[in-house]
Amino acid sequence: MTVNVDRSSKLLQVLRAATGDPNLAYAEPPRPLSGGFWAELLAFSLADPPPGWPGELVARIMPEAAAALKETIVQGAVAAAGFPTPVVRASGRDGGLGPAFMVMDHAAGVHLLSGLAGAGAIASALTAMREMPGLLAATMARLHSLDPAPVRDQLGSSCDTPVTVPGMLVVLREMAYFYGRQDLAAAAHWLIDNPLPPAPEVICHGDLHPFNLLVDGADVCLLDWSAALLAPRAYDVAFTSLLLAEPPLDVPSALRPFVRRLGARLARRFVAHYEQDTGARVAIRELRWHQGVACLRALVESAGWAQQGLTEARAGHPWLTCGPAFARRLTALTGSRVRTGG
């Protein structure tokens, strides 16, 4: 399926302006890519790409300009440092496409949990259990080894969206109040009033889970930097271990207890692999506090969808699938009786 002619034409205009080539043409017109909830993804190829550009590309069209700028800066910087993520070829605002866009290399491979659904989930999960924790941990360890200074310098001078955990917590608290969710606002207050001791910041992906990591033979590629922050390493470790422990998988209800037990084992193995790869220990208190931040973020975002009438359109999103589990965890941590739903 291709996109409409007007959208295809506007993307080509943006590409011609970015490359300075008025004769740039498609080899294959844009077609929608599945898998994104926040941004629109269009895959296409160019007939005669500029020097250094691959023929296969993806346009990522994002609904919020400030968040898009942060994402573009982080992805561009880590790609320039040699980290395995698509190289950003062009970016900007509007251009007739929407608030913001990014054009990047097309990533090959399949995500780690490809085909993990329904009755086949058990066999696939057993295979994933052997490989997934170590692969996620190694990818995260490699990211955290990068120098955060270039990202910090660029974000500090040009970004209007939170780029640290304290900044994000303030925004989440205000969003919770705006959505009429006093329970979530109270949980945010608790996290703000009970911070962890300061710790060195690293580049955190903020959304490093099996569906954002593509595997192509021995190569991996990490996608979607929209949730990236400069934060203590425990923030990233906590998020990934949380998503492993509370897997948002579509399995029959009878299998759910088994899947959660399997998820808890995967989460423990992931943390152990990460600590072994980095030589850094992540304390249980750090892990639980940052998992609380991740739960709050998910619940506030899903509360916003409820207020905007978008819950049905977001069906299948991990935030909705895991909402009850996240609410229980946040209640246990903060003492605020957190509920799910709008």
pLDDT band at 160 (very low <50, low <70, confident <90, very high): confident
Look at residues 251, 159, 242 and name the one whose alpha carbon lies nearest to residue 207: 242
Of 81-90, 95-104, 189-198, 261-270, the one with minimum mean pLDDT is 95-104
The DSSP code sequence of 235-293 is HHHHHHHHHHHS------GGGHHHHHHHHHHHHHHHHHHHHHHH-----HHHHHHHHHH
Residue 120 gets which letter from DSSP? G
- Write down all domains in the chain, each with its CATH number in brackets: 5-105 (3.30.200.20), 110-334 (3.90.1200.10)
The pLDDT tens digits for 12-37 are 999 999 899 999 999 999 999 876 67
Can you give the pLDDT at residue 158? 67
Look at residues 34, 71, 18 and name the one whose alpha carbon lies nearest to residue 228: 71
- Output the average pLDDT for the chain: 90
How far apart are alpha carbons 82 and 45 in whole angstroms?
24
pTM of the model: 0.91
Count of positions (residues) in the chain: 342
Average pLDDT over residues 26-54: 89
Cα radius of gyration (the chain): 20
pLDDT above 60 (res 119) = no
pLDDT band at 127 (very low <50, low <70, confident <90, very high): low
Can you give the pLDDT at residue 6? 82
Can you give the pLDDT at residue 101? 92
Can you give the pLDDT at residue 263? 86
Can you give the pLDDT at residue 1? 57
